[in-house]
Amino acid sequence: MLFDYPVKARFGRKIAKSKLYENASVNTKLKDKFINQIDKIIWQYKLAPSTLNLDATDKVPEIQVFDIFIKSNQIDQALLEVIDKAIPLPIIFQIHKGNKVKIKAAYKRPSESANNKWVIESYFESEWLDKDVAKQPMPQALDLGKLYEQLLKSLMPVEVTSSKTTQTLDEQVGIINQINSLQKELDKLNSKYKKEKQRNRQFEINKQIKLKQKELNQLTKA
């Protein structure tokens, strides 16, 4: 969903693509992707104590909202990772393609082992939405940390966020990572099963598939 951020939080500054890929020392292939896939980047909103009247937290001093206008149908996630690494703050990306927009963001947190370093976890994203869809009020929160949690949860799978409301954001992200890992294992096993000709091997692979499916069902059940 699209959120209606306060006018007071509007920043509206264009960011030169070259600053991002030059400071990050990206390779030629990624640099070309920046040039070929991205039209422009606008630092659209700065969600901070001074603009929202919400207290900062140790993990979330501010939240940035970037509008990225793309030239092609998709944007390589590696480009978002470059931006996330260049700016040590949580970022919500609003990706624009013609009359469509998609929201995408990584769970981002300060490193516990290295000062001034940030850990970038899984990315979550919405479907492509019509730009003229009605915007929802920004989630109510007690501080910026809780606001960030609400913004991320709006992008997470419903089966995780709706059934595990007592869990922390870290725990829910961990469950989603497990689900993604299990799904990849299942895809590989199913592909292996289809290619296998020996009945006894098919039987063994099918047993593994059922076990992995059971684990997946336990993680996603309400």
* Sequential DSSP letters for the chain: --EE--GGGEEEEEE-HHHHHHHTT--HHHHHHHHHHEEEEEEEEEESHHHH--B--SS-S-EEEEEEEESSS---HHHHHHHHHHS-S-EEEEEEETTEEEEEEEEEEE-SSSTT-EEEEEEEE---EETTSPPEEPPP-SBHHHHHHHHHHTTS-HHHHTT-TTS-HHHHHHHHHHHHHHHHHHHHHHHHHHH---HHHHHHHHHHHHHHHHHHHHHH--
- Mean pLDDT over 163-189 rounds to 78
Per-residue pLDDT of 96-118, as tens digits, reads 999 999 999 999 998 887 777 88
**Whether the predicted model's global pTM rises above the 0.85 cut:** no
Per-residue pLDDT of 39-77, as tens digits, reads 999 999 999 999 999 999 999 999 999 999 999 888 999
Residue 4, pLDDT above cutoff 60: yes
- Mean pLDDT over 129-155 rounds to 93
pLDDT at position 184: 86
